[in-house]
């Protein structure tokens, strides 16, 4: 599972669900690290970022399947010309949303959602205050809402490189998670040969024949 796909799906759901509570919902790109004028211009807003994989565990005895436990964060921020309290609590005007409402709305929209992906449903975690400060004579408040999820992936066989992924029509499948290895000219292995023959031998105990029964099945 590519974390970017999860980020994109979270952004899409929040963009539709939050409506006019925010100007936009985007993957975080340092928007709150710029100069005060640039920060004020993008508020109220919400940003999504991948927080990393904090645990991986085996899911079968062969050691080829694993479950990754990952964390994502949704950053919400708002401003208010009246006070720091108003930047959190909102106000009487529609434009005065407040970060407390944004936090509640984000958790309501994302908790228990799989976003149409092969992941476990998002579980809400901590809500952390990032800052409450004054920028250009306006009070600005920002919080980070954490969500956990997990997914299962299979490892390559020992010493194997990925194969060029093909769709049923025999064309390169650009949607496959292993496609980047083909796109960027990484080492590629040929697919395993198709199974064409199965041989069967049955040897019963205390009989003179060895084996007692032998057969072969061949596939075209």
117 belongs to a structural domain: yes
Mention every residue, 6+ apart, whose C-beta is less than 8 A from residue 147.
10, 71, 72, 73, 74, 110, 111, 122, 123, 124, 125
Q: What is the pLDDT of residue 140?
A: 80
113 belongs to a structural domain: yes
139 belongs to a structural domain: yes
pTM, 2 dp: 0.78
pLDDT tens per residue across span 22-61? 989 999 988 777 665 667 777 888 999 999 999 999 988 7
- Number of domain units in the chain: 1
Query: CATH number for the domain including 28?
Result: 3.30.2000.10
User: Residue 36's domain spans which residues?
Assistant: 3-154
Q: What is the pLDDT of residue 83?
A: 46
Q: What is the pLDDT of residue 90?
A: 47
Report the alpha-carbon distance of residue 98 to residue 35 in Å, rounded: 21
Q: What is the pLDDT of residue 86?
A: 45
Q: What is the pLDDT of residue 196?
A: 75
218 belongs to a structural domain: no
95-116 per-residue burial string, b: 16 or more CB within 10 A, e: under 16 = ebbbbbbbbebbbebbeebebe
Report the alpha-carbon distance of residue 99 to residue 107 in Å, rounded: 12
192 belongs to a structural domain: no
Q: What is the pLDDT of residue 133?
A: 64
Report the alpha-carbon distance of residue 179 to residue 189 in Å, rounded: 13
37 belongs to a structural domain: yes
Q: What is the pLDDT along the chain (220 residues), one digit of tens a residue?
A: 899 999 999 999 999 999 989 989 999 988 777 665 667 777 888 999 999 999 999 988 777 899 999 999 999 988 764 545 544 454 454 555 778 889 999 999 999 999 999 999 999 999 999 876 665 566 788 899 999 999 999 999 888 999 999 888 889 999 888 999 999 999 999 888 877 788 888 877 777 777 767 777 777 6
172 belongs to a structural domain: no
Residue 5 structure tokens? 């796909």
7 belongs to a structural domain: yes
Q: What is the pLDDT of residue 200?
A: 83
């Amino acid at each position: 599972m590519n974390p970017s796909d999860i980020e994109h799906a979270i952004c899409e759901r929040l963009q539709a669900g939050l409506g006019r509570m925010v100007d936009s919902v985007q993957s975080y790109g340092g928007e709150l690290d710029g100069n005060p004028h640039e920060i004020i211009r993008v508020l109220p807003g919400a940003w999504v970022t991948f927080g990393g994989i904090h645990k991986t565990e085996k899911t079968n005895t062969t050691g080829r399947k694993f479950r990754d436990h990952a964390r994502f964060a949704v950053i919400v921020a708002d401003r208010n010309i009246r006070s720091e309290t108003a930047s959190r609590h909102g106000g009487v005007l529609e434009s005065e949303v407040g970060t407390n409402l944004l936090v509640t709305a984000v958790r309501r929209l994302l908790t228990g959602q799989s976003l149409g992906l092969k992941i476990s449903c998002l579980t809400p975690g901590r809500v952390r205050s990032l800052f409450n400060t004054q920028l250009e004579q306006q009070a600005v408040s920002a919080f980070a809402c954490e969500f956990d999820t997990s997914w299962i992936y299979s490892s390559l066989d020992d010493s194997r490189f990925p194969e060029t992924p093909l769709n049923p029509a025999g064309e390169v499948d650009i949607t496959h998670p292993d496609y980047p290895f083909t796109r960027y000219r990484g080492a590629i292995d040929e697919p395993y040969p198709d199974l064409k023959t199965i041989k069967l031998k049955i040897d019963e105990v205390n009989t003179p024949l060895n084996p007692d029964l032998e057969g072969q099945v061949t596939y075209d």
